[in-house]
Structure 1
Amino acid sequence: MPVSVSLIARLGASALVLALAGHSGTADAQSRRERDAAEALNERMVEAEARYRQALVRIANDDPAGLDASNAALEDMEDVILACERQRGCSVSQLLTTYKRLLKADADAQAGQGPDAGDPLVVEEGGLPTADVPAAASAAALLSEDERFKRMVELNPAVQASIRRWLTDMRVSLITSHENYQYMRHLMSPAFKRSGLPEALLFGILAKESNGRVHARSRAGAAGPLQFMPATGRRFGLGPDGSGFDTRYDPRLSADAAAVYLNERFAQHGNEIEYWLAGYNGGEGRALRIFREANGRRFWDPDVYNQFPAETKDYVPMVIAAAWLYLHPEEYGLTFPRIDARPATFTLERPASIYALTICLGNGNTRDGYMRALRNLNPSYEAEDLIPAGTTLNGTVRMAGLYRQWCARGARADLAAQLVNSDPRAAIVRTGAIEVLPATGDVPPAALPPAPAAPRPPQAATPAQVRTHRVARGDTLGAIAQRYGCDLATLARANQLRAPAYALRQGQSVRLEGCTR
């Protein structure tokens, strides 16, 4: 892995130090001891820089010890900066000029890279990489995370067997999980990064729990991309929000809750990720009791391991394996598809459902189109709900462009609406009473004029009865509106239902006002 990635990671770790570096005293106010201490730190930084440059030469000569030497030098620099922040009279900004020089030297040392090979690393005056290098910054985060994750888990045969499962029978599920996660990453990963939790762990839980489908629901009642049970969700502020939407389905809020939950497990179990996951899957009470009785023994100790149910024994290594593959795909010949997931919003110019948008957006250079991404990014809408014009939806830059091109108006938008509104029952052709024809050779009886009907006594006019529909399992107001040819807004008002969820309960009677079929 390029050394520049390690360097950027160290810079990111020093960001807090930079924010605190503005209180250096003036030279006149420094004592001789303070000046000597600051100068000693400067000398240590220069010496570490020299060792780092020597390590670059060793790396260029394919010396395997070069990377270790460069990391050791970087760790010394980091220690110097931290000490400088505490030392009166020491200028952190002066020390960070070393980082600028090393970024330049490191970029020049990369094979096949030069001023014409691509965008160079850019460092602002404050010393931190700018947003012009998001890929490098992401790689740096992964490198740092990789090292932490390696120290926190054990790549034992149980995890290796789970890696095998992900790469064989469950490969499609793993790749699908990764694609789904890329669309939601900007919503979910910040909570884990703020909490100092490995992002790979978030992906591992997501892949095992839901494959990245925010509307996933288990038979036991767990729901959402990270599968919170109702009681656990309520502990962390998840559940019905008063509009009919359950916030366990919200990717951002569920990730926020999961980060808090796992930090609770950290407080109980330290760095023992296996115990965290055992608590996440089988209940923190059981995991905490076993942990305390274990007296420092690891999760994989047979006396500990065998106290957990079979589901937890499977769950823990599967999550760790998915996280490991997230960090090391190339090592296993695994290629995750590149997804253009740059977030953006777009506003509906005409009513549409997610089904209709999926049709008119097309595939857009993706394998499966945008239905799952639209549902994940807009979890409060069911796929068949008719969403009013003027509603702003979450999507990507690519989706917003395709919407303007194909869905706002035109033949494809009309076709999508037609397909979504099609009622299979309209294909049934009903005829009148069946006429019995005489057998061949028979003479039909003479046709007689029908007898006049007896006049009926006049009756008082009765008011027209409004039809109703009894809600069945899986019914939504949007689906009912499409079935009976109703205006969704009129139907909602007639039944006092609130947007956007239009929550219905099974067995409820819905008045079909304003319906044409």
Structure 2
Amino acid sequence: MRSVRAIRFLRLAPLAAALGLLAACAGAGGTRPPATVAALYTQLDQATLGYQTALQQVRAGDNAAGQKTLGQALDTLKNASVQCGNTAGCDPQRFFSAYDHMLRLKDGSFIGDESPADEPQTGMALDQRGAAALPEAQRSVTLLHGQKLSQLIAMNGAVKTALQMWLTQWRPNLIDAWINYQYLRSEMWPAYRNADLPEALLFGIMAKESGGKVHAVSRSGAAGPLQFMYATGLRFGLTNFNGFDLRFDPAASARANAEYMNEQLKVFNDNLELTLAAYNAGEGRMRRLVGDDTSVSFYDPRIYGQLAQETRDYVPAVLAAAWLFLHPDSYNLRFPRIGGVPGSITLKRPASLDELTVCLGSAGGMEEGWFRTLRNLNPRLDPQQEQPAGATLQVPKLLEKPYASRCVDGPWPILAADLHNAVAPVVADPPPHPAESAGVRHYKVRRGDTLVGIVRKLRCSSVQQIAEMNHLRHHRIAAGQVLKVPECR
């Protein structure tokens, strides 16, 4: 294994040389930079040397030391780039370019070398349903048909803008999507792994499409965690099964999405941006725009300018979410650790998903409660429909013990059942308005008249009807006022 990794690093030697050139350029030019700028460029040189040292350590078989050295080099770059942004005459782009290169190299070169204690915040434990989930460190393997996903993401203005949105206004949505995905991962990730597609891409699509809400439905009729339109879903086997729309099934929708992505990647010659655009705007439209030139950039004005704003925003947003999935720490982002190992419970007493949510409370530290997770994992169930004793429900494994201690006996299931069975008062529908009159006439209000009295005289109208016809506030009228009233037939 070490020899394979060493070979992989040798292949990256030209990129190391490129980083060296970036550092050399920092000191080149006709004029000598100010001392403060020169000191920052020296840190850039040191970071580059640190990367080269990391290469040598890995080639020598010391992977742990190589990982540590690379991390120190990245930290040096981060700190220096911040100072550069506040220093006159310093070019931050040199630091960003080197930093971007190192992230891309880290994405494909130090895979699986971290110890469990140092795993990045991008995963969960093993899948207990036979679909082996990879350890967190190894989940960073992000090949797309043999190419590193990070090499396919152009870090341009559109993607950077989307990164800022995910880190600011959309940040709560990103965290919610992350939490939802961790509990759905054992259902969805195997389909992507089997299709040789990167998990980061699956997360990016899901984060943008539904945020991990399995029962999401858009205004256009797209449904499920990956938002399939009805016709497209049928094409990939998402039919109605025993009255259940399979677009809402996490495993089935992930399989269909993986098949769709591979189909369109083949059409567009592994051009990921065009494939994502096809997923959003429709493959027929994208094929007409692209024609035979599948090497054309999504951002080419001939393509970009012909797409709806939704699609222009969608593609970089998916790529930015995928990038953050791979590199959260590099963007001052920390995803919560989630114990998403799948489990199940067998009901000891009848209960609905609503009742289970009440009796489980904030078990396991889930302050937002468990309703969304329970519904996501049991998509075929009506959350208000009581399930019989003996029924098996899918839950995160960490809820198996809290269910036994909180939801079988004691006050909480009694309280949950009481709330579930409560019935709000039924209010009868108001009587319908009398039949509309053929026309409008006028009535002059007399002293002592009330709106109710006028309605009684007319017999074919209502208080509300006259109030609306005359824009009356609080049904107030005054003597001498002329009201428009229905002309009775």
Same fold (TM over 0.5): yes
The one-letter code sitting in structure 2 at the alignment partner of 1:395 is: V
**1:292–1:142 Cα change, 3 Å:** same
Q: Name the residue aligned to 1:272.
A: 271
| Separation of aligned partners in 2, 1:181 and 1:120 | 22
Counterpart-to-counterpart distance in 1, 2:230 and 2:2: 41
Hey, what does 1:238 align to over in structure 2?
238
Kindly indicate whether the alpha-carbon contact (under 8 Å) linking 2:57 and 2:65 is maintained by their aligned counterparts in 1.
Answer: no
Task: State how far apart, in whole Å, the 2-side matches of 1:119 and 1:137 are.
Answer: 8
What CA deviation, in whole Å up to 9, does each residue of 1:377-427 have, x standing for no partner? 000012211112111000111111111111122211111111111112289
Partner of 1:424 in structure 2? 424
Q: Distance in 2 between matches of 1:339 and 1:385?
A: 28
Q: Does the 8 A contact of 1:354 with 1:374 survive in 2?
A: yes
Cα displacement (A) at 1:141: 2.9
CA distance in 2, matches of 1:8, 1:378: 43
TM-score, length-scaled by structure 2: 0.62
Native 8 Å contact 2:273 2:315 kept in 1 = yes
| Per-residue deviation, 1:181 | 0.3
Instruction: Work out whether residues 192 and 198 of structure 2, in 8 Å CA contact, stay in contact via their aligned partners in 1.
Output: yes
CA 1:66/1:204 → structure 2, altered by over 3 Å: closer, same or farther? same
Contact 1:279 1:287 in 2 (8 A): yes
CA deviation profile, 1:265-299 (whole Å, cap 9, x unmatched): 11111221111111100111111222225463211
> Is contact 1:8-1:137 (8 Å) kept?
no
Q: In terms of mean alpha carbon deviation, does 417-426 or 256-265 score higher? A: 417-426
SS of the counterpart of 1:425? coil
Q: Which residue of 2 aligns with 1:381?
A: 381
Alignment of 1:157-176 (within 5 A): 157-176=157-176
| Deviation, structure 1 residue 143 | 4.6
Alignment of 1:254-333 (within 5 A): 254-292=253-291, 294=293, 296-333=295-332
C-alpha spacing 1:342/1:232, structure 2 compared with 1 (3 Å): same
**Residue pair 2:224, 2:247 contacting (<8 A) in 1 also:** yes
Structure 1, unpaired ranges of 5+: 1-6, 12-43, 52-58, 75-101, 113-117, 122-129, 429-517
- Which one-letter code corresponds to 2:135 in the other structure? A
**Change in CA separation of 1:357 and 1:10 when aligned onto 2, cut-off 3 Å:** farther
1:362 partner letter:
G
Q: Secondary structure at the match of 2:243?
A: coil
| Cα separation, 2, equivalents of 1:136 and 1:194 | 13
**Equivalence for 1:66:** 53
Residue segments in structure 2 that go unaligned for 5+ positions in a row = 14-45, 70-114, 119-124, 429-489
Matches within 5 A, 1:108-187: 137-145=135-143, 148-187=148-187
2:24 matched residue in structure 1: none
Query: Structure 1 CA distance, aligned partners of 2:3 and 2:243?
Result: 43
SS state of the match for residue 385, structure 1? coil
CA distance in 2, matches of 1:194, 1:294: 29
Q: Secondary structure at the match of 1:238?
A: coil
Please say if 1:394 is aligned against 2:394: yes
Change beyond 3 A, Cα 1:69–1:260: farther
Equivalent residue, structure 2, for 1:195: 195
Answer yes or no: is the 8 Å Cα contact 1:145–1:199 preserved in 2.
no
The 1:211/1:386 distance shift into structure 2, 3 A limit, reads same
Q: Could you say if the C-alpha distance between residues 417 and 198 of structure 1 is closer, same or farther in structure 2, counting changes exceeding 3 Å?
A: same
- Aligned in 2, Cα 1:399/1:248: closer, same or farther, shift over 3 Å? same
Q: Max radius of gyration: which structure?
A: 1
Q: CA deviation at 1:225?
A: 0.1
Cα distance, 1:67 vs structure 2? 3.3
Partner of 2:37: none
Instruction: Measure the CA separation in 2 of the matches of 1:176 and 1:262.
Output: 24
Structure 2 equivalent of residue 349 of structure 1: 348
**Structure-1 separation of matches of 2:116 and 2:156:** 41
**Preserved CA contact (<8 Å) 2:298 2:304:** yes
CA separation in 2, counterparts of 1:119 and 1:275?
37
Question: Secondary structure, in 3 states, of the residue corresponding to 2:345?
Answer: strand
Per-residue Cα deviation, 1:419-451 (whole angstroms, up to 9, x for no partner): 1111122899xxxxxxxxxxxxxxxxxxxxxxx
- Determine the structure 2 residue equivalent to 1:403: 403
CA contact (8 A) 1:184 1:251 kept: yes
Identity %, equivalent residues: 42
Displacement, 1:237?
A: 0.8
Q: Which amino acid aligns with 2:337?
A: R
Secondary structure at the counterpart of residue 300 of structure 1? coil
Instruction: Supply the RMSD in Å over aligned alpha carbons.
Output: 3.5
Instruction: Indicate yes or no: 2:367 matched with 1:367.
Output: yes
AA paired with 1:208?
A: K
Per the alignment, do residues 386 and 67 of structure 1 end up closer, same or farther by CA in structure 2, a change over 3 Å counting? same
In structure 2, distance between residues paired with 1:156 and 1:372: 35
Cα distance in 2, alignment partners of residues 401 and 427 from structure 1:
42
Cα separation, 1, equivalents of 2:412 and 2:331: 42
What is aligned with 2:222? 222
Distance 2:215 2:325 in 1: 23
Check the 8 A contact 1:215/1:225 in 2, yes or no.
Answer: yes
